[in-house]
Structure 1
């Protein structure tokens, strides 16, 4: 079965890297389970799937990952998002709270993780997020950044 990372990297079952990933099937299934958990969890903690997909598209764009941007754009479109979520996904910075805080956190952790501080969590709380939402946001940001890096690495290996 082709998972989201295979798809993002352009791998098919005929590729050696596809087979190599299956030497550790728990990593393949684990990454897919993480993806499901951050994008469409059983309990969304008040962060809708559409919001999560908009943030995922934004993070993929910050990482210059055209394949993942396209995938997340397609998944987001199926959710019929409103204009504010489309603006968030497109990288807009002039957003109302709490979207402005979500965007700022996603951008900071993606582009300059060394500048992330404990005070950033306080800013999220001031914007109205509770602790479970802050954790869910952090998990989403971490996963999409992980996914873009793994896909980029696989694309690089594939090109050798």
Structure 2
């Protein structure tokens, strides 16, 4: 059983210099793991099922192009819903891009940073289902077009059957995964520096 997912994703071995470094901030380490546990081992699945959580995580990790996180969350999804994994991987392929994107209204100085970019829509909605299709589109928006997230995207989730609590949980999942993936990537980078 994995006791610290960030350590696992970063490839940190017990007693290594990075393990000792992370040990200097035990509260940060503990709270990151507790956040993972709360999101991926919830006491209730009334609002967001485990399959939905793992499908969203596999999708978001794939969008971040992080092989360790993509494999980790794909493996979790494969345990619960093996038939869904290929569909999620196809959606990651369809939604793969760089970013961030978004359009600033008007002609002010920020409009110079406007970049239309990809506007992702689920390619296989009949296989993903209404709820996950809306969740994937919202997650893609948060990852690549965060400044455009607003009432319209929240209304789309509500229209697909997501409750207010479910929408909050979905948004927390995306935010936490982005944090977790970036921390693990930074630690892997540090590890390479320490090894050379």
2:70 is aligned with 1:69: yes
Structure 2 counterparts to residues 115-134 of structure 1, below 5 A: 115-134=148-167
1:29 offset after TM fit, Å?
1.1
Distance 1:77 1:60 in 2: 14
Distance 2:87 2:147 in 1: 23
Q: CA RMSD in A?
A: 1.7
1:59 offset after TM fit, Å?
0.7
**Which protein shows a greater Rg?**
2
**5+ unaligned residues in a row in structure 1: which ranges?**
none
Q: Is the 8 A contact 2:54 2:77 kept in 1?
A: yes
Distance 1:12 1:2 in 2: 12
1:78 offset after TM fit, Å?
1.7
Q: Which residue of 2 aligns with 1:58?
A: 59
Q: Which residue of 2 aligns with 1:155?
A: 188
2:130 is aligned with 1:97: yes
1:42 offset after TM fit, Å?
0.7
Q: Which residue of 1 aligns with 2:19?
A: 18
Per-residue CA deviation, residues 25-56 of structure 1 (Å, 9 max, x unaligned), is: 11111111100111121122332112111111
Q: Which residue of 1 aligns with 2:119?
A: none
Q: Which residue of 1 aligns with 2:8?
A: 7
Distance 2:143 2:90 in 1: 13
1:14 offset after TM fit, Å?
3.1
Distance 1:156 1:71 in 2: 19
TM value normalised by structure 1: 0.90
| Count of residues in Structure 1 that have an aligned counterpart in Structure 2 | 158
